[in-house]
Each structure stands twice: as structure tokens, then as C-alpha cells.
Amino acid sequence: MNKLLLEVNDLGVVYRGRGRRKDKVALDGVSVAIGAGETLGLVGESGSGKSTLGGCVLGLVRPEHGSITFDGRDITRLAARDRRTLSTQIQAVFQDPYSSFNPHRTIEQTVSETLTNLPRMSRQDRRTRVVAMLERVGLDGSALERFPAQFSGGQRQRIAIARALLPEPRLVVCDESVSALDLSVQAQVLNLLLELQADSGVTYLFITHDLSVVRHMSTRVAVLEHGHLVEEGGAREVTDHPTHPYTRKLIAASPGSDAEVQEARRETRRAMARLEAGGTDADVHALHALEIQAVIEALAEPLSGATGGFARVLNEFTHEPVALDKLVRLRAAILDLAPRTSAAMTSEVVNRRVADARERLCRSLAENDRALHFAAQCREILVAIDSRQRERAVSVVASFDDTRVAEHRATTGRP
Ligand SMILES: Nc1ncnc2c1ncn2[C@@H]1O[C@H](COP(=O)(O)OP(=O)(O)O)[C@@H](O)[C@H]1O
Ligand SMILES: [Mg+2]
């Protein structure tokens, strides 16, 4: 980790109930830290306390106990004047900038609000700086005289980012900053945030309920559940190998960026649910769904860390002649890829049944006459994946079904 910029230590927040409402413990003993120029992704379900933590850092929520240190200085309970001075160094981008924009103020007035706590500058200097910032986020000078309502959601979020970054803050708290945007716009705004970070070295506390976003953005990830920190670590570690069941549940529920991947995951979840309910060939169907999901995900993101096991085997195949034991490993790798997402949410019993079924299939494959046919199919998948022919690869996986159901019946003796 770089030199620490923000340290949150043993933070506790209680919202006091009024009248008959009970007190609500929103954060309990939470400690996280962010290195300068890095991004900490803070994730958890709605109500887990993410915004409360962001609010404490921004001085909007008063903690019951614990401390917040910014650049070596204790900022837990600052007087209002010191807070205002600090606001040029700690800024925020919220989910819906529309509600934090005054509809009657022009974009120039709105964006330059964050300069008010800096030494006075001439009107012309200020305008030059605002225009440069607007251009940096992809808008031009013609925006200055217009009003928030004249912009789309994505543009308004760009304006909010311009406003936050204008005073050159060291830390920006992004609280669900892209959650209200369409997926394609979301990706553009996320990339903008990454570019701005690369340019300026700004640090982000990146709050989101969406784990698929966090992996893309973060150096480290912290997971909150009901006000408790349940997991914290490198972004890849946590998203690829979550140790806490709650994190696995979040990953299973997180939408992919690809409609086909999502549909494959939904189908897998349905198949896994059938498996959980029992039924004869349910595990074969679940495996089938997992294979399709794995192939689609491998095609969506062929050589990334998430598909590391698969990619490794794939590489071996594309460089060497195909041997049966490698095909068996390929199948295991395909099956290995999918459970990390969809099956993560299911019970251990179901996962064990999938693992057993997989082992049986691999074993029967090694002894089976149909191995040659399967070898040809695997080669077809490899070629399709290599040339990014998604439909072809998926259709080959789909054609596994008949032979596999037969294999399965032969090995289990089930009708
Ligand atoms: N001002 C408040 N008064 C009382 N309870 C609150 C207040 N703000 C949040 N809460 C409660 O504290 C918990 C954490 O809320 P929040 O930090 O907004 O969660 P998140 O951002 O993860 O959705 C929730 O149960 C929420 O209902
Ligand atoms: Mg929130």
C-alpha cells in the first residue's frame, strides 16, 4: 500500500431513535485504510452502513466512537470552520447529482461552488479553470450558461465529477456514483474516474452495492454486513477468492456487464435450485448449465484473472497437440470457472453434488469410448473461443448434453 492517506479506526455510529423508534447501530468497530492515489471499494447490501461510513469521512455523520485520520491529522470531530477548509481536500460524488444541484443555478455556478473555500481568484481565472475541467470530463464551454435539467443523467454525473475535482482534492468519496446510470454510460463514467485518477493521483473511497463495478475500480475492497467489516483485501483476491459467505452471496447476486453472461447465470441459478430440490437428472442439468455459463464467461472475458484456471489450460491446449488427460482437465477447468459466480450462493450439499458429478464425468470420460468424440468437440470449442466465436462454442457445449446424460445414466445406473 502507498503512504496512508485515510485511516478509519474502530468506527462506531449509532443513530438515536426518537419517540418509539429504537436506536440503530449503523457501524460497529469498523477499521479501513486507503493509501494515497489508491481506491478502496466499499461494498455491501443496502443498509449495511456504507453511506454512513462515507458520511463520517465527509463530516456529515458524527461517530459515537473511533477515529478518522486524514493525512496524519485527526479529523473525527472538527469545528465547522476547519471542516470547510478541509472541504477543498475531501470531496464527494453522490448517486443522484440532480438532487444536490440547484436547478436555478447555471453549470458554471454549480461547478465553481467547490472553489469558494480557496483563496479568491478573478472571475476570468475561475471561468478558465471551470472550462478546462468541463472539457476534461467531456463537456465543452457551451455548458457554462446552461442549467442541470438540460443534461442527461450521464452528463450530469460528469458535471458532478467536474465540480468535485475542480479544487484538486486529495480524496473523493464516490457514493453509488454510477448506480443510477445505464450500463454503457456507467462504463464511460467509471473510465473517466480512472483516467482522472491516473492524471491527478486522487484517492477514491468508492462506495457501491455492485461488486462487478468494484473490481474494475479498486485497489482494495472492504465488505460491510450490518455495520460490521466482514472481509477486506486486494480487489482481485476478494472478488476471485472470497473467504466470507456473505461476500460470495454478493458476488453471485452481482450483475455482469454482459446480457448473455447474466442470462447464463440466471439459468445456472435455476438449475442449481432444481438440484437443491432433488430430482433425477437435476445434477446433469446443473452441470450442463454451469458449462454453458463458463464458456460464455470465458468468451466474454477470455484471459482475465477471473478465468485464470481456464485460461491456463486453454493456453496449454492451443500450443500443444490435444491429449485425453488434458481434455479431462479442460472440462474440469470449465466447470471450475462457473461455480465461483453462480454456485457460490448455493448450499454446500449442492456444491458437493456438483463436484461429485463432475468427478464421475471426468472419470467416465477417461474410460469411455466416446472420449474421441468428446475430444473433437473440445477442439471445436477451443478453436471457437480462440477466434471469439461465441455462438459456436456455446452450441458445442449445448450438444454435450445427450451424450453426457447417457454417460451419466451408465455410471449411476439411474433410469
Ligand atoms: N439518519 C438516519 N437515522 C436513522 N437511521 C439511519 C439514518 N441513516 C441511515 N440509517 C440506518 O442505518 C443503516 C445504514 O444505513 P446506510 O449507511 O445508509 O447504508 P447503505 O449506504 O449501506 O445502504 C440502515 O439501517 C439505515 O436505515
Ligand atoms: Mg447508501
Which of 16, 24, 214 to probe ligand 1 with, by most ligand atoms within 8 A of CB? 24
Cα(45) to centroid(ligand 2), Å: 9
Instruction: State yes or no: pLDDT of 67 exceeds 60.
Output: yes
Which of 8, 51, 52 to probe ligand 1 with, by most ligand atoms within 8 A of CB? 52
Contact call for residues 313 and 333 (beta carbons, < 8 A):
yes
Distance between CA atoms of residues 293 and 273, nearest Å: 15
Q: Whose CA is nearest to atom 16 of ligand 1?
A: 49
Number of helical H runs and strand E runs in the chain: 17, 10
92: helix, strand or coil: strand
Query: Ligand 1 pocket by C-beta < 6 Å: which residues?
Result: 15, 24, 26, 44, 46-52
Cα(272) to centroid(ligand 1), Å: 34
What φ, ψ does residue 401 adopt, rounded to 5°?
A: -50, -55
For 94, 154, 372, the CA distances from 15, given in Å and listed in that order, are 21, 33, 66
Q: Which ligand is nearest to the CA of 177?
A: 2
Q: Whose CA is nearest to atom 14 of ligand 1?
A: 49
Q: Give the confidence band of 359 by pLDDT, cuts at 50, 70, 90.
A: confident
Question: Domains along the chain?
Answer: 4-253 (3.40.50.300), 259-412 (no CATH)
Q: Please name every residue paired with 302 in a beta bridge, in sequence order, or none if there are none.
A: none
Write out pLDDT tens, residues 96-135: 766 778 889 999 999 999 998 788 888 899 999 999 999 9
Closest ligand 1 atom to residue 227 Cα is: 14
pLDDT at 414: 46
> 194-199: long-range contacts (C-beta < 8 A, 24 or more apart)?
196/136, 196/137, 196/161, 196/165, 197/37, 197/39
183 contact partners, CB below 8 Å, separation of at least 6 = 257
Q: Give the confidence band of 305 by pLDDT, cuts at 50, 70, 90.
A: very low
Write out pLDDT tens, residues 11-42: 999 999 888 889 999 999 999 999 999 999 99
